[in-house]
């Protein structure tokens, strides 16, 4: 193969299955052109046409964004002294980015801006949870335990959450823009209500009961308002706990002392008391991503399990 043929073969691979006929036509036309400058002009013209397709441009943009994100994680994690923890966090980032890229295996994103926006927001949310968790464990007093258990368990849960949200926004789910909007609004409202209460009535509780109750209200509201009640309720049950858990992670690291519960009253100094409370406050809220994982797993199975094809309800 000449250089022009190699370029054309690479470009054709970027085409989505729906445009496979284009690729065959491009290669058939190239075969009829004599090797040399004319074949190069044909190959570069085909490359220009393929790379300007929105679907191809988005795919390449996501790939470049993933590479940049992984490079950023590698640079940031270089400051972690414990090598197994550093490698674990880098591996977790790579797995999450690969899973987001492979979302098409669950199903291509549904047509329309709502599904694309929710899918992008879901990837951003999973990334935010992963980043907040990494910031906390990077300064953990028990890096070995975090490398052996904390990071692998959290990575597995986040992969489950991501699979559920990718399934929800896939074409096979048949979720309408209205239902997606209701689910997102209920999740954001519930996640915003909880910290507002904590600011009004500090400190943050040393248990996750309030967060679970708030999540329940969000689930009930979405289930009542949405047409596809199951999908909307499961979406809220996945997203709201993740939003709340992220808030707790950031609070444990950066929150003011007056907003944190006193969980280490036997500490020898106030500084030690505060440091211990920052660590202990996260433990009861670990139940939130576990609950979100169960909801996400149910959501994934509900979408990908064999059954009659989903019917999208016309919205007028």
| 181-201 per-position pLDDT tens digit | 999 999 999 999 999 999 999
The pLDDT confidence band at residue 314, using thresholds 50, 70 and 90, is: very low
CA distance 21 to 32: 17
Whether 315 shows a pLDDT value over 60: the answer reads no
Q: What is the pLDDT of residue 105?
A: 66
The pLDDT score that the predictor gives to residue 240 is: 97
Segment 218-276, tens digit of pLDDT: 999 999 999 999 999 999 999 999 999 999 999 988 999 999 999 888 888 888 888 88
The model's pLDDT over 12-32, given as tens digits with 9 standing for 90+, comes to 888 877 788 888 888 888 888
pLDDT at 312: 47
Contacts of residue 108, defined as CB under 8 A and 6 or more positions apart, other chains included, come to 170, 171
Write down the pLDDT at residue 24.
87
Q: What is the pLDDT of residues 145-187, one digit of tens each?
A: 999 999 999 999 999 999 999 999 998 888 899 999 999 999 9
For residue 306, the model assigns a pLDDT of: 60
- pLDDT at position 292 over 60: yes
Q: So what's the pLDDT on residue 289?
A: 94
Residue 123 exposure: Cα atoms within 13 Å on the Cβ side? 22
What DSSP string runs through the chain?
A: --HHHHHHHHHHHTS-GGGHHHHHHHHHHHHTSPTTHHHHHHHHHHHHHHHTSHHHHHHHHHHHHHHHHHHHHHHHHTT-S-HHHHHHHHHHHHHHHHHHHTHHHH-PBPSSHHHHHHHHHHHHHHHHHHHHHHHHHHT-S-HHHIIIIIHHHHHHHHHHHHHHHHHHTBGGG---HHHHHHHHHHHHHHHHHHHHHHHHS-S--SSSHHHHHHHHHHHHHHHHH-SSHHHHHHHHHHHHHHHHHHHHHHHHHH--GGGS----TT-SSHHHHHHHHHHHTTGGGGHHHHHHHHHHHHHHHHHHSSSSPP-PPP--
Indicate if the pLDDT at residue 316 is higher than 70. no
pLDDT tens figures, 71-129: 999 999 998 999 999 999 999 999 999 888 777 666 778 888 899 899 989 999 999 99
What is the pLDDT, as a whole number, of residue 23?
Answer: 83
Task: Say yes or no to pLDDT of 309 above 70.
Answer: no
What does the pLDDT read at residue 1?
63
- The residue among 4 and 137 whose pLDDT is bigger is 137
- Residue 7, pLDDT above cutoff 50: yes
């Amino acid at each position: 193969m000449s250089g022009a043929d190699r370029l054309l073969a690479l470009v054709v691979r970027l085409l989505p299955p729906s445009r496979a006929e284009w690729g065959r036509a491009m290669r058939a036309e190239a075969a009829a052109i004599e090797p040399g400058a004319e074949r190069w002009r044909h190959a570069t013209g085909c490359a220009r046409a393929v790379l300007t397709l929105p679907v191809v441009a988005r795919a390449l943009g996501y790939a470049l964004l993933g590479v940049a994100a992984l490079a950023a994680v590698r640079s940031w994690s270089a400051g972690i002294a414990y090598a197994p923890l550093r490698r674990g966090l880098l591996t977790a980032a790579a797995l999450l980015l690969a899973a987001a890229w492979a979302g098409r295996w669950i199903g291509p994103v549904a047509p329309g801006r709502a599904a694309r926006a929710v899918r992008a927001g879901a990837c951003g949310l999973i990334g935010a949870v992963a980043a907040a968790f990494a910031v906390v464990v990077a300064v953990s007093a028990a890096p070995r335990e975090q490398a052996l258990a904390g990071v692998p368990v959290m990575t597995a849960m986040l992969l489950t959450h991501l699979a559920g949200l990718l399934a929800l926004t896939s074409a096979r789910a048949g979720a309408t823009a209205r239902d997606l909007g209701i689910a997102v609004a209920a999740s954001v409202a519930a996640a915003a209500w909880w910290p507002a209460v904590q600011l009004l009535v500090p400190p943050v509780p040393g248990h996750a009961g309030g967060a679970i109750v708030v999540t329940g209200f969000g689930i009930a509201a979405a289930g009542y308002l949405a047409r596809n009640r199951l999908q909307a309720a499961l979406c809220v049950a996945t997203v709201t706990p993740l939003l709340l858990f992220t808030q707790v992670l950031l609070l444990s690291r950066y929150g003011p002392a007056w907003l944190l519960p006193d969980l280490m009253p036997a500490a020898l100094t106030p500084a030690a008391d505060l440091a211990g409370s920052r660590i202990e406050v996260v433990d009861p809220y670990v139940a939130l991503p576990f609950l979100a994982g169960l909801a996400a797993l149910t959501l994934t199975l509900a979408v990908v399990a064999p059954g009659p094809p989903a019917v999208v309800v016309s919205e007028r």
